[in-house]
Amino acid sequence: MNDIEAQKIFDKLKLFHKMYDMIRFVDPVKKKTVTYKKGKIQEDGIKCFDFMETGKICDNCISIRAFQDDKSFVKIEYVSNKIYLITAVPIVVGDRRVVIELFKNATESMVYENNVTNRHEEIYSLIDNMNQIALIDSLTSVYNRRYINEKLPIDVLNAAITEKSYSLIMTDIDWFKHVNDNYGHLGGDEVLKVFAEMISKLTRKDGDWVARYGGEEFLICLPETEHNVAVDIAERMRKEIESKEILYDEFTIKITSSFGVYTFVPQEDTLIEDIIKKADENLYCAKRRGRNRVEG
């Protein structure tokens, strides 16, 4: 987007200039920005996440969500002792979609219950918890599908920039319908919780993450991980799960699981749907070959 295009759109947003402290365009894929502040356009080459002062791409990037889902999203951020309400709105400029971000300093207008002090650490913790609730699967306490949609594109972009291998593991519980049939849905819920806890414990703490993809299917993401390492991690998980006895009421439940591993070096035009599909195809290859195995 050039300055003339940006100025035309900013002129149409004059109604909002007094309502918001900052308005900017964001290309959420390349993380570039064009900012309108104090009546002037500023295109200084900064990354969109520099405003947050975290030094890294935001885990809960609403611009990515707005860009992908083609609808508006709102979040709260705490920056430099100030509370900002940020709205991300997707628009089409020329032949491509960008996102308008509207920043409102809400520090003075936020109201807290009496048991919440105004200490900055507590306010930040409160806001962080609010943002995390929307991204956590309530049953298993790992990340949810929304988090995959937000975080995976960011990981892939980082991997493309650094030219590092990225591995995904798709896994699910073999014959999970039998678990529900034999022990009821509460028994199935207990199995899902234990399963998620086990695979989470067997990931590395620095950068790896686990999310519930849907039903009994989980996605394990391993940044900067070669294929052989990812296969070893999946095999270790498979063995641990096979040997685990899950206690539910008076029952002892034994399960097995299957794993599909896919490793690649991302490019900037890598499609997220394609890499998930590759891992999923390898999972179903494991299913076809007898279950309780790793393929990829």
- As annotated, the active-site residues are 216
Residue 113: phi, psi to the nearest 5? -65, 160
Structure tokens at 38: 């104090």
Distance between CA 156 and CA 162 in Å, rounded?
Answer: 10
Closest CA to 279 of 256, 295, 290, 266: 295
What DSSP character marks residue 56?
Answer: S
Residue 237: phi, psi to the nearest 5? -65, -45
- Pairing assessment for the beta strands 217-223 and 166-173 based on DSSP bridges: antiparallel
Distance between CA 296 and CA 285 in Å, rounded?
Answer: 9
Closest CA to 153 of 69, 233, 37: 69
Distance between CA 97 and CA 99 in Å, rounded?
Answer: 7
- Pairing assessment for the beta strands 257-264 and 294-295 based on DSSP bridges: parallel
Stated length of the chain: 296
